[in-house]
Every structure is written in structure tokens, then in C-alpha cells.
């Protein structure tokens, strides 16, 4: 394998990270935010998409979050950042996203992270299809941690057929969330159903912003070039609002 692969020269991009201080259950202070950036940078990450929750517990305020990202850019000039949303697939969220899709997308792109409910997959494929009529492209986050999907893995094919992409969590692939989640990540990789590996980091300890360990694990399963695609070129295409080559 050529270690001078052009993709290796580019930094990794983390598209799912609870980096912003004091807005959800992620970073609890600016100190932690800055430390998360330092860890990510040391790991080879050059760009982070800050993705605060929008769910029943945490209100998503695009204007406020954008202002915090702007401050982050001045505090951490060595990295680049954009704003996304960890969008829970709730009735209220869907209603609002149908009217204001740009409020939930990653940066100015068409892509949106979507976290499915853990309690019902009723009409989900149809809802995800409906969401796309706004121009948004849903990326289903951590399907490997959703008990309903784990119990009914064939639903992944339904969601893929409904136009969705998939993001697995880096530390699911390395075993943090248990064997069942890890096996689903491995199966999805083998079936070419993973489009992104992201950290879904919430701090610096148990859920840190580290991608390299998962990239190495993925490389053992699908090869280095494919593993790099999930943390470098696919996220780069996303940030440039380009079409993704689907597996």
C-alpha cells in the first residue's frame, strides 16, 4: 500500500460532534471545547462540524449556535468548523424542517444528520422520504446504537432505498458500545453501507473526538483507501455540497 496516497495528505473531517460549550450534553465549558479541539487536531482531524442536539431536551437555536461557532473560529484558528444539528426525528422537528430546511442542514449544504427514535420505526422510511422533498439528504446517525434497528437490521435497506446515507460512530466500531453494535458496524462496512465515520464526541473522557482508531479498524475490514473515504473524502464532498458516490 502506498503510504503517500493523496487522501492521506488530507486531514480527517468529523461531521458529528457535540463540541459547543453549554448548549447540550456535550462540552460543559469553553475549556473542554478547546481541549476537544486539541485532541481532535492531534488525532489528525482538521475540520469539525459542531452538531448540537435538537430534541425534547435541548432546544436548537441556529442563530445562537452560529455565533458560538464564530467565536470558536477565533479561539481555535488552527482548525476549521461548520455548524450542523443532531436532528431528532420527532414530529415537531420534522414540521419545522419542512418549512425551514436550511436551519438544520450542515453549513449551507443539503445534508442533515438524523437521529431515529429508539421507540418506533413506524412510517420512518416515508418520513425520511418526505424530508427529502425539501432538498435535504438525510444521514442516519449511529444506526448501530438504535435498539429497533439492531432488532430489525433489514430496516437499513429500507432507509437506504428511501435515499438515506449512514454514519456510524467511531467508538462503536472499536467496541465502546458493546459487541452487538460493533458487529453491526462491521457488517455494514462489509456491505458497503457506511458513508461516514464520526465521533459523536461529548467531551474528552468517555466519548472523545477521536477518529483514527476507528479508521484503522475499518481499514482492516475494507482496506485503507475505503476507510479513508469515510473520514476524509466523503465528509469533504459533503462540506462542498457535492453528490456522494453511494456504495
Query: Tell me, what DSSP letter sits at residue 112?
Result: E
What residue number has its CB nearest to Fe ion? Answer: 86
Query: What x-and-dash track marks residues 146-175 binding Fe ion by CB under 5 A?
Result: ------------------------------
* 200 binds Fe ion per the rule CB under 5 A: yes
Report residue 153: phi and psi, to 5°: -60, -20
Please provide the size of the chain in residues. 247
Q: In angstroms, give the least distance from the CB of 235 to Fe ion.
A: 15
**Least distance from C-beta 138 to Fe ion, angstroms?**
15
In the complex with Fe ion, the residue whose CB is nearer, 144 or 200, is 200
Kindly identify the residues of this chain, within the stretch 44-103, that bind Fe ion according to CB under 5 A. Answer: 86
Minimum CB distance to Fe ion smaller for 198 or for 224:
198
Tell me the C-alpha distance between 59 and 197, whole Å: 26
How many residues form the binding site for Fe ion (CB under 5 A)? 2
Shortest separation between residue 39's beta carbon and Fe ion, angstroms: 17
Q: Segment 22-41, which members bind Fe ion (CB under 5 A)? A: none
β-sheet bridge partners, residue 53: 86
CB of 221 to Fe ion, least distance (A): 23
Closest CA relative to residue 44, chosen from 16, 73, 9, 72: 9
Which part of the chain contacts Fe ion (CB under 5 A), choosing from 20-28, 30-38, 173-181, 200-208?
200-208
**Which CB sits closer to Fe ion, 200 or 228?**
200
Strands 137-141 and 165-169: parallel
79-97 b/e (C-beta count within 10 Å ≥ 16 → b) = bebbbbbbbbbeeebbebb
| Sites for Fe ion among residues 119-148 (CB under 5 A) | none
Provide the CA 205 distance to its chain's centre, in angstroms.
19
Instruction: Give the nearest distance from C-beta 52 to Fe ion in angstroms.
Output: 9
Nearer to Fe ion, 182 or 199 (CB): 199
Neighbours of 2 (CB within 10 A): 8
Q: Report in angstroms how near the CB of residue 115 gets to Fe ion at its nearest.
A: 7
- Cα–Cα distances (Å) from 3 to 7, 9, 42, 228, 236, in that order, read 10, 9, 19, 12, 20
Residues that bind Fe ion in the complex, under the rule CB under 5 A: 86, 200
Amino acid at each position: 500500500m502506498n503510504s503517500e496516497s493523496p487522501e492521506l495528505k488530507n486531514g480527517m473531517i468529523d461531521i458529528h460532534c457535540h463540541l459547543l460549550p453549554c448548549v447540550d450534553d456535550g462540552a460543559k465549558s469553553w475549556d473542554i471545547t478547546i481541549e476537544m479541539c486539541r485532541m481532535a487536531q492531534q488525532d489528525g482531524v482538521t475540520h469539525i462540524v459542531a452538531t448540537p442536539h435538537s430534541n425534547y431536551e435541548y432546544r436548537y437555536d441556529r442563530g445562537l449556535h452560529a455565533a458560538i461557532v464564530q467565536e470558536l473560529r477565533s479561539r481555535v484558528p488552527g482548525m476549521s468548523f461548520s455548524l450542523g444539528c443532531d436532528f431528532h426525528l420527532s414530529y415537531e422537528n420534522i414540521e419545522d424542517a419542512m418549512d425551514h430546511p436550511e436551519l438544520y442542514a450542515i453549513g449551507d449544504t443539503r445534508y442533515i444528520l438524523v437521529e431515529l427514535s429508539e421507540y418506533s420505526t413506524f412510517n420512518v422510511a416515508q418520513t425520511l422520504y418526505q424530508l427529502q422533498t425539501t432538498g435535504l439528504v438525510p444521514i442516519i446517525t449511529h444506526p448501530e446504537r438504535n435498539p429497533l434497528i439492531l432488532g430489525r437490521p433489514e430496516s437499513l435497506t429500507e432507509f437506504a432505498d428511501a435515499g438515506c446515507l449512514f454514519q456510524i460512530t467511531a467508538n462503536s466500531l472499536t467496541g465502546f458500545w458493546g459487541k452487538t453494535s460493533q458487529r453491526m458496524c462491521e457488517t455494514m462496512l462489509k456491505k458497503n453501507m457506511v458513508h461516514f465515520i464520526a465521533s459523536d464526541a461529548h467531551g474528552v473522557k468517555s466519548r472523545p473526538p477521536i477518529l483514527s482508531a476507528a479508521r484503522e479498524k475499518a481499514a482492516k475490514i475494507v482496506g485503507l483507501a475505503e476507510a479513508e473515504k469515510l473520514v476524509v473524502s466523503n465528509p469533504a464532498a459533503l462540506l462542498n455540497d457535492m453528490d456522494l458516490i453511494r456504495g
